[in-house]
Structure 1
Amino acid sequence: MTGLFISFEGVDGVGKTTQVNRLHNYALERGLQPLVTREPGGTPVGLAIRELVLHGIAAFPSFAVTGGSDVVEEGDDLGPRTEALLYAADRAQHVSQVIRPALQRGQLVVSDRYVDSSLAYQAGGRELTVDDVRGLSTWATHGLMPRRTYLLDMDPELSHARLRHQLDRLEVEGDDFQRRTRDEFLKLAEAEPERFVVLDASQSPDDIWQRIRRDFDALTAESGISGSSEQDSR
């Protein structure tokens, strides 16, 4: 039996986590036994990679010992290619340990970020080539892609104003980086309209959720994914 793989994408602050949680709860009500995961950090190995790619070598000061003391220099930060390779390593482990086994069990898998984030942030934001980043991710995942991707789209200046936590390495990049990232997300959606659903993230969370729910209901019916709930059994 084959499960259903769904991803959520978008620049930081657009409300992905809110909608992931809503879909998780709705799927539970329908008896679908969803597995919710994220990138980077969907496995124990991925958690270590997450700290490195989001916070740099400063997250591991004992790794940067200079002259007998823990010193992290500005030049010790990750290069764009190193960053892309680390994301691919996280994804390879994530797919082999979490996503593919769950799909083989017939589960619904919902991931907060996946391949499209690498294409948007590393190819768009970091200005690496799309073909290189795509090839790396395809190799890492054995070509596994989501059946549906919900792209929450918003001007990065507006979405970043929503952030209430200490910003990570990508979130502190300048306006040009953020615009390139958003533009790359939109290019990806335009190239694969059958997979992407683009949502205006400036709308209310309730309005966004209603669009996702309607599409999700149609998608599960089309995919033959069904569950049972107390309401269904009455």
Structure 2
Amino acid sequence: MTKQGRFLVVEGLEGAGKSTAIQTITDWLQQQGVQLVSTREPGGTPLAEQIRSLVKEVQAEHLTPEAELLLMYAARVQLLRNVIEPALARGDWVLADRHDMSSRAYQGGGRQLSSQLIDGIRQAVLGPCRPDLTLYLDIDPAEGLARAQARGELDRIEREQLAFFERTRAVYLAIAAEEPNVVVIDAGQPLAVVQQSILTELDHFWKTTHAALA
């Protein structure tokens, strides 16, 4: 059997439980014996982490939506070229905390930038690379923000108004309805139920992947 890497992404609004989901997925994949590389966006490389600080921290100068979008893709292409693509080429699996779907939802929905602008940058920067599976943790924005606030100090994006996150969620759900590699997980359920839903989807993906390689 040829060793083939896979690209998995976890997406969701603030407070959706991405960190817990990623730990659940990491533990499960390690039990399967795969070589796993974990990343996050924005970030994942030294330069991309510096860009993360620019995007997440409150700045004295207003960061325009267009500049925010370009910074996100600058960090993303650094991560893609320097970490994700080499890992996949080795046959490793990559697990990412956010990827391109975030920009389409946050900058496209939340910031209301045109999908044509985002798609143009997306195609130019990312080319054909797409995740093999995206698990979108769906939660009511008000509940998610309450969870995020309970964790402590909010970053620049987490301080946006509820309407921003409602627009972001709407785009997330629209993308999930159109793209077959995106699975929606109801993150408003009890933790044990959410984890079991994730493991069920992973098991299905694992069996489908290995059946295709057999």
- Aligning the two structures, in what range does the TM-score lie when normalised by the shorter sequence? over 0.9
1:187 aligned residue (151, 174, 180): 174
**1:210 counterpart = 2:196:** yes
Q: Mean alpha-carbon deviation: is it higher for 146-155 or for 1-10?
A: 1-10
Paired residues of 1:80 and 1:126 also in contact (CA < 8 A)? yes
Report the equivalent of 1:170: 157
Cα RMSD over matched residues? 1.3
Relative to the length of structure 1, the TM-score reads 0.85
**1:200 counterpart = 2:200:** no
Name the CA distance, whole Å, in 1 between partners of 2:11 and 2:93.
Answer: 17
Moved over 6 A (4+): none
Give structure 1 stretches of 5+ with no counterpart: 59-71, 226-234
Larger Rg: 1
Aligned residues: percent identity?
38
Deviations 1:47-76 (A, max 9, x none): 1000000114x3xxxxxxxxxxxxx3xxx1
The one-letter code of the counterpart of 2:34 is L
Deviations 1:170-191 (A, max 9, x none): 1111111111001110011011
1:44 aligned residue (30, 46, 65): 46
Name the CA distance, whole Å, in 2 between partners of 1:110 and 1:17.
Answer: 12
Name the CA distance, whole Å, in 2 between partners of 1:125 and 1:98.
Answer: 28
**1:99 counterpart = 2:101:** no
Return the offset for 1:39. Answer: 0.3
Deviations 1:68-125 (A, max 9, x none): xxxx3xxx12100000000000000010011111111111111010000000000100
Q: In the TM superposition, what are the counterparts of 1:47-86 in structure 2 within 5 Å? A: 47-56=49-58, 58=59, 72=60, 76-86=61-71
Return the offset for 1:30. Answer: 1.5
Paired residues of 1:91 and 1:137 also in contact (CA < 8 A)? no
Relative to the length of structure 2, the TM-score reads 0.93
